[in-house]
Amino acid sequence: MAKKLDRIKQFTWILLFLVLLVYVLVAAREFLYPIFMAVLFSYLLYPVVKKLEEWGVPRILANFITIILSTLAIVGLFVLLYKQLSTFLSDFPSLQEQALKNLDRLQYAIDDKFGDTDSANEHWLRKQVYNAFEISGGFIADVLMATTNTITKFGLIPVYMFLLLYYRNKFENFILRLLPSFRHSSTQCVIDEIASVMKRYMSGVVIVILILCVINSIGLLIIGVDYAILLGIIAALINFIPYFGTLIGGAFPVIYTLMVQGDPQKTLVVVGFFLLVQFTENNILTPNITGNKVNINPMFTILSIVVGGMIWGLPGMFVAVPFLGMFKVYCDNHSELNAYSFLLGTDGTEEHALTIDKIKDKLGIGQKNN
C-alpha cells in the first residue's frame, strides 16, 4: 500500500510539473520563443564563427561579421517576398472576382451534370468561397500587422545569437560546474553530440529550403502559374515544418491555380509537381543533406509539431522537433532514460518497415537464377 501511494505521489508531482511547464511556456511565449530560435540559429552559425576564429579573427568581430551577413541575407529574402506579396495584395480584388466567375462556371457544370434546378442553390458555391475570401483577406492583413508588431521580438534574435556565441564556453563551464567531476566526461560527450546534431540539422534544413525556393519557383514558372516566385518561396519556407511543410506549402499554388486561373489541367500538373517535390525532398534532399541525425520517429515528430503549434504557433512548430532531438540525445547517454530514447527513436519496427530491399525480394528482382 505504501509503494502504491508513493507511485501516486510521484505521478502527481510529474503531472503538476508538466502542467506548470506548459503554463509557463504559454504565459512567457513572447519572451521565450525568440531565445529558443536564437539557440537553433546559433548552432547554424557556429561553424562559420569557429572557422573565422581559427583564422585569427577575434571572437567579437567573428560573431559580428557572421550575424550581420546572415541577417542581411534573411532580410533580403523577406524584402523580396514582401514586394511580391504587396503586388499580390494590390491585385487581390481582381483576382477575387476572377475566382468567383470560375466558381460560377464550376457550379453550373455541376448542376447540369446532376440536374439540380433548385434556385435556392444558385450561386451557393460563390457565396461560400466569397465568405472565405473575406476571411482570408482579413487574415492576411492581420498577419502583416502581426509581423509589424513582432519586428522587435525577431529583432532581438540576432542579439541573443551574438551573446550565445560569445558566451558559449561560459555556458558550457557553468553546466560542468553544476556536476561532480566524475560526470564531466559523459556530460561533455552529451554537449558535443547535441552540438553536432543541431549543426547538421539546421544547416541541412536551410540548404534544403534554399534549394526548394529555386525548384518551386522554376517549376511554377514553367507550368505557367501566376506569382510563381511568391508562391514558390512561400511553399519552400513552410518546409521548416517537417513532414507537413511541402504538402501545406503546395496547397497554396494548387488552390490559386484552380480557383483564380480556373485551369483544372494546369492544377493537376501543379499537384503532380508538388508530389514529385515531396518525394524528392523526403527521399533525396533531406536524407543526403540533413541526414538522420534528429532520429525521431514520425509519430512523435508529428505530436511534437502539433503540441508546439498549440503552445507557440508557427515558432513552436519550428523549434519542437530539434529540441525534442536534443532531449533524445540526452536520453541516449543516460541508461536510466534508455526506455524514453527507444520510444522516441525509429528502432524497434524494422521488421514491419517497407523498404526497397523488401520490395525487391517480394518481386524477385535482383535474385540470381539457379
Taking the C-alpha atoms of residue 176 and residue 205, their distance in angstroms, rounded to an integer, is: 30
> Would you list the domain boundaries of the chain?
28-166, 201-291, 294-347
> Is the Cβ–Cβ distance between 321 and 369 less than 8 Å?
no
Residue 366: which region, alpha, beta or left (left: phi > 0; alpha: psi -120 to 50)?
Answer: left
Taking the C-alpha atoms of residue 90 and residue 317, their distance in angstroms, rounded to an integer, is: 30
Residues of 262-298 as b/e, b for ≥16 C-beta within 10 angstroms? bbeeebebbbebbeebbeebeeebbeebbeebbbbee
The number of residues in the chain equals 370
Please report, for residues 104, 260, 295, the alpha-carbon distance to residue 256 in angstroms, rounded to integers and kept in the order given.
Answer: 16, 5, 36
Q: What is the pTM of this model?
A: 0.75
Dihedrals phi, psi of 357, to nearest 5 degrees: -60, -40
The Cα diameter of the chain in Å comes to 83
pLDDT tens digits in sequence order for the chain, 370 residues long: 667 777 888 888 888 998 898 899 888 888 888 899 999 999 989 999 999 999 999 999 999 999 999 888 887 877 777 777 776 766 666 666 666 666 666 666 666 666 555 545 545 555 555 555 554 444 445 444 444 555 667 778 889 999 999 999 999 999 999 988 888 888 999 999 898 888 888 888 888 888 998 999 999 999 888 888 888 888 888 887 777 777 778 888 888 887 777 777 888 898 899 888 888 887 777 777 765 567 788 788 888 888 888 888 878 888 888 899 899 988 888 888 888 888 888 776 666 555 556 666 666 665 555 4
What are the grid coordinates assigned to 4, written together?
Answer: 502504491
Report the first-to-last Cα separation within the chain, whole angstroms. 67
Q: Is the dihedral of CA 358, 360, 363, 364 positive or negative?
A: negative
